[in-house]
């Protein structure tokens, strides 16, 4: 029998939580400390019952090496057994082990009377008492203990009978072994204690018994420094959380901080910053609860003394993590508990995160609670190279909430922010010039430069938030409709339709390039200069006709809307400048 801990460490959505998620669905967080507990299964062997094993299931925070080692041991044991041996066969020369495994109390009693070695071991180190604990067979356990079975025996993976009892959520077996002298603080090789295991499996009575016998309530396992309280929170065992808090569990304990190099969706893959060191971990029980959106756990923890202003090493607060992870109810609970709606230690505020998630109700709640509708995004969040993380791209730095709402094409959120006092005229800042210079002037950067207006953001934006695997699901016509509605709201709030960014790009140029014919018409209706040249000297019609040629060469319905921006411009009377007109225009400028 090779049964061992299914977890030795610490999800995504959101920085260490959000982008994940968090996980139940993150945040990654994207953000992501992982949820405790690795899925387990039982390997069935013909004629030999069941052997405890581990699967790689959701190895949330557990090291791959540990998971694979345990699985490999279990597989090896299964393969070592005869393929068609009868059920009563003696696997390893110790009939008492087979009798315990088959729950044959009379056979165990007879073998003990005949002088059988009650501490005989299987090849993996398991004894008859391991099997009695695993089967939750109190009668056989009593027989073995009375006969002198070693209650401290561990198999080759470190599992003791007490650990198996805790893993089974068997309070009766835990009590029997503790009364017989089992050490409540014995650990698996990774540092998992029985009280952690019982907290993970949700056995309130087993937790009480272990604590009553001296279990260290604040012991931390070795891989991620997680405590029993963190494990109970991660699995939403509220009764266990209450018991642990009642018995003095440390609500301020933190999991281990682990620096990790993450991809930074930067400006130019070959010339610019390609990664940043992100401090994962450092989560308290309340931060785990926020990432999972477990309000009952949150209430218990706050009532038990947890700080609602707690923050991860990334600077993300409880409110920020809950919001970024998409847990509106938890975010509202945090606000009611006094969380700061302007907490910006992570480089972005809860309001930025709520807009990222498209949560209109939470946007309103945050602004009503005093969130600054003009707070600028200081930096983006890390991105896993392959994932569905809700992340704030670094090139959006300096964006205001209203600007973000325009970029994510959320017209109702734009209106709500304007009603709350957002300044709809604020552009992004010139933050990327230094990056460009640092790269020796190679480029230009793939981002569009600074001073982008909310109107340009609305036309240029990404309703899907740039989530990596959504490109195959794109509906270009829907993209155009969303851009049109966001642009309409920006104009409603006084946007200058001819404002250009650092690269000389105006909304009309982007609408032409993206083949947004309806947006071209809207901009023209509100006074857009249809002959305006961008920084490369191109007019909207030239840009639109270039896009028209690309569409003709690649008629991909997932890339371009069905309209025709070039034809829309021609219908508006736009024609190419002749050489004479260009010379006349130049002469006029000299006068």
Tell me whether residue 412 is in a domain: yes
Phi, psi (deg, nearest 5) at residue 43: -85, 120
The confidence score (pLDDT) of residue 429 equals 84
- DSSP for 232-263, written as a single string: HHHTT-HHHHHHHHHTT--TT--PPEEEEEEE
104's CB contacts (< 8 A; 6+ apart) are: none
Q: Answer for the pair 507, 487: CB distance below 8 angstroms, yes or no.
A: yes
- pLDDT by residue, tens only, the chain of 591 residues: 544 433 333 333 333 432 222 222 222 222 333 333 322 322 222 222 322 322 222 333 333 333 333 333 333 333 333 333 333 334 444 999 999 999 999 999 999 999 999 999 999 999 999 999 999 999 999 999 999 999 999 999 999 999 999 999 999 999 999 999 999 999 999 999 999 999 999 999 999 999 999 999 999 999 999 999 999 999 999 999 999 999 999 999 999 998 766 555 444 433 444 455 667 899 999 999 999 999 999 999 999 999 999 999 999 999 999 999 999 999 999 999 999 999 999 999 999 999 999 999 999 999 999 999 999 999 888 766 556 778 888 788 899 999 999 999 999 999 999 999 999 999 998 655 555 454 455 444 444 457 899 999 999 998 777 565 555 667 889 999 999 999 999 999 999 999 999 889 999 999 999 999 999 999 999 999 999 999 999 999 999 999 888 888 877 666 778 889 999 999 999 998 754 444 433 433 333
3-class state of residue 317 by DSSP: strand
The confidence score (pLDDT) of residue 163 equals 98
Q: 279 has which bridge partners?
A: 259
Q: Which two tokens stand for residue 276?
A: 């940043």
Tell me whether residue 509 is in a domain: yes
| Helix axes 517-525 and 476-492, enclosed angle (nearest 10) | 10
Quote the pTM value: 0.80
Q: Are strands 28-32 and 13-16 parallel, antiparallel or unpaired?
A: parallel
3-class state of residue 16 by DSSP: strand
Look at the chain and report how many structural domains it folds into: 1
Cα(454)–Cα(31) distance, integer angstroms: 27
The confidence score (pLDDT) of residue 543 equals 96
Q: Return the sign of the alpha-carbon dihedral for residues 149, 151, 157, 163.
A: positive
Phi, psi (deg, nearest 5) at residue 75: -65, -40
Q: Answer for the pair 380, 395: CB distance below 8 angstroms, yes or no.
A: yes
Q: Answer for the pair 127, 152: CB distance below 8 angstroms, yes or no.
A: no
Cα(250)–Cα(219) distance, integer angstroms: 10
Largest CA distance in the chain: 118
The confidence score (pLDDT) of residue 60 equals 33
116's CB contacts (< 8 A; 6+ apart) are: 94, 95, 96
Phi, psi (deg, nearest 5) at residue 207: -60, -45
Q: Answer for the pair 31, 22: CB distance below 8 angstroms, yes or no.
A: yes
The confidence score (pLDDT) of residue 492 equals 98
The confidence score (pLDDT) of residue 276 equals 55
- DSSP for 368-436, written as a single string: HTT--TTPPP-----B-SSS------GGGTT--HHHHHHHTT-HHHHHHHHHTT--TTPPPPS-SHHHH
The confidence score (pLDDT) of residue 25 equals 23
Residue found under tokens 């920006």: 490
Tell me whether residue 110 is in a domain: no
Q: Answer for the pair 426, 400: CB distance below 8 angstroms, yes or no.
A: yes
Q: Which two tokens stand for residue 539?
A: 């007019």
Tell me whether residue 20 is in a domain: no
Residue found under tokens 């309340």: 286
Q: Is 200 left (phi over 0), alpha (psi -120 to 50) or beta?
A: alpha
Over the range 530-564, which residues count as b (16 or more CB within 10 Å of their CB) and which as e? Answer: bebbbeeebbbbbbbbebbeebeeeeeeeebbebb
Cα(462)–Cα(457) distance, integer angstroms: 9
Tell me whether residue 528 is in a domain: yes
Residue range of the domain that includes 510 = 398-590
Tell me whether residue 166 is in a domain: no
Cα dist. 146→122, 129, 528 in Å? 21, 11, 92
- DSSP for 59-114, written as a single string: -SS--HHHHHHHHHHHHHHHHHS-TT--TT--SSS-HHHHHHHTT-HHHHHHHHHT
Residue found under tokens 């090896």: 76
Question: Which residue stretches of 281-422 are H helix?
Answer: 285-292, 295-303, 318-324, 328-336, 350-356, 360-368, 401-407, 411-419
3-class state of residue 573 by DSSP: coil
Tell me whether residue 371 is in a domain: no
Tell me whether residue 511 is in a domain: yes
The confidence score (pLDDT) of residue 386 equals 55
The confidence score (pLDDT) of residue 262 equals 57
| CATH number reported for the structural domain that contains residue 510 in this entry | 1.25.40.20
587's CB contacts (< 8 A; 6+ apart) are: none
Q: Answer for the pair 229, 197: CB distance below 8 angstroms, yes or no.
A: no
């Amino acid at each position: 029998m090779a049964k061992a801990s299914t977890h030795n460490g610490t999800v995504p959505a959101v920085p260490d939580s959000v982008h994940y998620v968090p996980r139940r669905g993150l945040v990654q967080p994207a953000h992501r400390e992982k949820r405790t507990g690795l899925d387990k299964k039982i390997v069935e062997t013909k004629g030999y019952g069941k052997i405890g094993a581990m699967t790689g299931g959701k190895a949330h925070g557990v090291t791959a090496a540990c998971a694979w080692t345990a699985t490999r041991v279990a597989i090896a044991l299964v393969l070592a057994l005869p393929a068609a041996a009868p059920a009563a066969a003696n696997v390893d020369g110790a009939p008492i082990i087979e009798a315990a495994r088959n729950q044959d109390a009379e056979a165990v009693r007879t073998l003990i009377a005949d002088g059988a070695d009650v501490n005989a071991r299987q090849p993996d180190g398991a004894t008859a008492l391991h099997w009695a604990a695993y089967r939750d067979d109190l009668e056989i356990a009593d027989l073995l203990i009375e006969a002198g079975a070693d209650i401290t025996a561990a198999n080759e993976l470190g599992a003791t009978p007490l650990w198996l009892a805790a893993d089974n959520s068997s309070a009766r077996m835990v009590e029997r072994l503790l009364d017989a002298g089992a050490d409540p603080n014995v650990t698996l090789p990774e540092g998992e204690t029985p009280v952690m295991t019982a907290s993970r499996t949700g056995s309130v009575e087993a937790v009480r018994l272990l604590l009553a016998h001296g279990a260290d309530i604040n012991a931390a396992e070795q891989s991620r420094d997680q405590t029993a309280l963190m494990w109970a929170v991660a699995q939403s065992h509220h009764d266990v959380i209450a018991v642990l808090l009642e018995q003095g569990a440390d609500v301020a304990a933190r999991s281990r901080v682990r620096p990790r190099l993450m991809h930074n969706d930067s400006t130019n893959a070959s010339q610019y910053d390609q990664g940043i060191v992100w401090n994962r971990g450092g989560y308290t029980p309340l931060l785990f609860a926020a990432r999972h959106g477990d309000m009952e756990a949150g209430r218990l923890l706050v009532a038990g003394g947890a700080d609602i202003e707690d923050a991860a090493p990334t600077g993300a607060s409880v409110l920020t993590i809950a919001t970024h992870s998409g847990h509106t109810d938890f975010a509202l609970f945090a606000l009611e508990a006094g969380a700061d709606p302007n907490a910006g230690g992570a480089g972005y505020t809860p309001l930025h995160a709520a807009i990222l998630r498209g949560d209109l109700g939470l946007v309103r709640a945050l602004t009503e609670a005093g969130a600054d509708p003009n707070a600028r995004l200081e930096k983006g969040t890390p991105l896993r190279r392959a994932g569905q993380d809700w992340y704030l791209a670094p090139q959006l730095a300096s964006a205001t909430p209203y600007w973000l709402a325009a970029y994510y094409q959320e017209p109702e959120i734009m209106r709500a922010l304007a009603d709350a006092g957002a300044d709809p005229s604020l552009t992004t800042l010139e933050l990327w010039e230094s990056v460009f210079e640092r790269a020796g002037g190679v480029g230009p950067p793939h981002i569009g430069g600074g001073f982008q207006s909310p109107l340009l953001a609305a036309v240029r934006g990404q309703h899907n938030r740039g989530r990596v695997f959504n490109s195959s699901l794109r509906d270009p016509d829907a993209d155009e409709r969303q851009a049109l509605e966001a642009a309409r709201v920006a104009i409603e709030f006084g946007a200058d339709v001819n404002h250009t960014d650092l690269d000389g790009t105006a909304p009309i140029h982007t609408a032409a390039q993206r083949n947004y014919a309806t947006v071209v018409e809207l901009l023209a209706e509100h006074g857009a200069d249809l002959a305006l040249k961008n920084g490369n000297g191109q007019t909207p019609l030239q840009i639109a006709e270039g896009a028209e040629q690309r569409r003709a060469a690649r008629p991909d319905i997932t890339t371009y809307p069905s309209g025709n921006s070039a034809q829309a411009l021609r219908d508006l009377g736009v024609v190419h400048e002749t050489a004479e007109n260009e010379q006349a225009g130049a002469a006029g400028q000299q006068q």
